[in-house]
Structure 1
């Protein structure tokens, strides 16, 4: 059960970060201009929320490192994942539901050359969201859940450092106990590869 919790926390954190990175390049909002012809402009996620890509990269890095760190860093990384998910979720929800003018201002200014809140506001007829803000918001909810799961179960995860020590001092034929008898999971296979062992050779 704890092995599943660890795997779930790692996979959920990595997936949330990956969705955030992909989403940052996709169209989040369509701006219809009040220019007679009603031209439209596409606003990418990274333009709507400038910190979207950096926060997503941070979440992805946390997930990649979470499976190999010690107890203290598990708590730190879990708390960071929770914080990143909460902050990103709030910012994404604002864009998805409130659609503030600030989320499209830079795109409108780049396309038209107009600056200033009033000038941009007068030019924007309406702002229409795509599905990407909702998809990304769900990813941040998953990240928050992964952070909570990490903090709650971190102490019961098997320590990588102790595993490496046992492997270095104990012959494989002499390995006993729960750690030796339980099935390998995906995280264990990754740990084996990092030591130079090929788990597919078993």
Structure 2
């Protein structure tokens, strides 16, 4: 029983729809984080009237948005792609996933540099001198989504091997329609037997 459940689970994991859905979910997760606040900036009190500034992921890590959209398009391409095209899409997804993770971790590593453009727009001076920048959980979520997306690209290559394989049928399956001319040949054979005085029904 356990073996049957394991085999059924393995087949389910190799289905095209399952792989496509996983890629879509990871791409949407990465894209969704870019609409949220990645960095919270406390500006000098004498610099602006509103000292607190929230920086969205789309501003702190613009490439993540682009990579997520490319991955989403790749997921839909997988649903109709052939064997060679799947390899191309898998490579694109792998690059996109690694890119999302890399850029997101860069933001966590140097949040001040990531927030510098937004700080410059707020106070009119480039750079983040005098500002205190803290990171939310969103960059880490995006990095995780990127790594899972890269894993899904490898999963696509492995699972894709079983897609599109032609099923083998028996040469004359039960209940199949007779081959053209077969019925006619049988009628001629019965007529010949009848003309020789034999009963064709035997």
Shared fold per TM-score greater than 0.5? yes
What is the TM-score normalised by the length of structure 2? 0.70
Structure 1 residue 144 corresponds to structure 2 residue 150: yes
- What RMSD in Å do the two structures reach over aligned CA positions? 2.2
Structure 1 residue 32 corresponds to structure 2 residue 46: no
**In 2, distance between residues paired with 1:79 and 1:3?**
23
1:104-133 superposed Cα distances (whole Å, 9 cap, x missing partner): 011111111112xxxx23231x21111111
Aligned to 2:128: 121
Aligned to 2:159: 153
Higher relative contact order (CA 8 A, sep 6+): 1
Structure 1 residues 142, 135: closer, same or farther in 2, change over 3 A?
Answer: same
Residues 170-181 of structure 1: pairs in structure 2 closer than 5 A = none
By how many angstroms is 1:151 displaced?
1.6
What is the TM-score normalised by the length of structure 1? 0.70
Max Rg structure: 2
Aligned to 2:172: none
Larger helix proportion, structure 1 or 2? 1
Aligned to 1:4: 13
* Structure 1 residue ranges without an equivalent (≥5): 164-172, 175-202
Q: How many aligned residue pairs are there?
A: 157
Does the 8 A contact of 1:23 with 1:132 survive in 2?
A: yes
Aligned to 1:67: 79
Aligned to 2:97: 85
Does the 8 A contact of 2:39 with 2:136 survive in 1?
A: yes
Q: Give 3-state SS (helix, strand or coil) of 2:62's partner.
A: coil
**In 1, distance between residues paired with 2:44 and 2:65?**
30
**In 1, distance between residues paired with 2:148 and 2:155?**
10
**In 2, distance between residues paired with 1:154 and 1:75?**
9
Structure 1 residue 109 corresponds to structure 2 residue 108: no
* Structure 2 residue ranges without an equivalent (≥5): 1-9, 168-174, 177-202
Q: Give 3-state SS (helix, strand or coil) of 2:125's partner.
A: coil
